[in-house]
Amino acid sequence: MLLSAACVAHGQTATLNITGRITATPCSISVNAVAMGDVPISEFTASSTPASQYWKPFTVTLNACDITTLQSANLKFNGTLAYGSNTSLALTAGAGTATGFGVQVRTNDSVHGSGITVRMDGGASYPFNVNSTQNTFTFTSLYVKPVGAPAMRSGTANATATITLTYS
């Protein structure tokens, strides 16, 4: 006796969803060096900050993309902290460096936000208002005498920070 077996084929289907955006180019940022100039040490005898005439503005510019096509764009600042203060950048160490000071950055932009002291430990984001057409974000930098800083000594007062842009 001959047995015949029938093979039955079964099939399944699945849907592949692909999401994304086509953009002209990746976004980037640029910022120029801030020339703080000379600030007299006497500016810090009665206050932890100098008079506003010694505060210097700078602008972070969003490049190579149209802000109106973004869902969000945020900046974060990271640098070496001065005397444990997450809002003060340490001065770059070296021979002749001033002591007892740090550099503070504050938002100063009528469109994106103003009056906020920037955290230098990457612990906060500073958003562009993507509903505007303004692709620049203005900040102000100033020297400060952080709480707990050692005695003040004049000298070179340079500092650096990394600014990171995240966007979608």
Judged on CB neighbours under 10 Å (0-12, 13-18, 19+), 45 is exposed
CA distances from 61 to 11, 64, 101, 102, 139 (A): 54, 10, 28, 24, 11
Q: Can you give the C-alpha Rg of the chain in angstroms?
A: 26
Half-sphere exposure of 47 (CA within 13 A, CB side): 9
- In the chain, count H helices and then E strands: 0, 10
Is it the case that residue 4 has pLDDT exceeding 70?
no
Read off the tokens for 49. Answer: 């900050």
The H or E element containing residue 25 is none
* Average pLDDT score, the chain: 90
* Confidence grade of residue 26 (pLDDT, cut at 50, 70, 90): confident
Domains of the chain plus CATH, in order, are 28-167 (2.60.40.1090)
Count of Cβ atoms closer than 10 Å to residue 72 Cβ: 11
Alpha helices by DSSP H, the chain: none
Read off the tokens for 150. Answer: 């050692």
Region 82-87: what's the mean pLDDT?
A: 96
Coil, helix or strand for 127? strand
Read off the tokens for 101. Answer: 């000071």
pTM: 0.83
* Confidence grade of residue 68 (pLDDT, cut at 50, 70, 90): confident
The least confident of 59-68, 79-88, 94-103 is: 59-68
CA distances from 118 to 4, 8, 39, 57, 139 (A): 80, 68, 21, 14, 9
CA 147 – CA 107 distance, rounded (Å): 21
Read off the tokens for 43. Answer: 């500016």
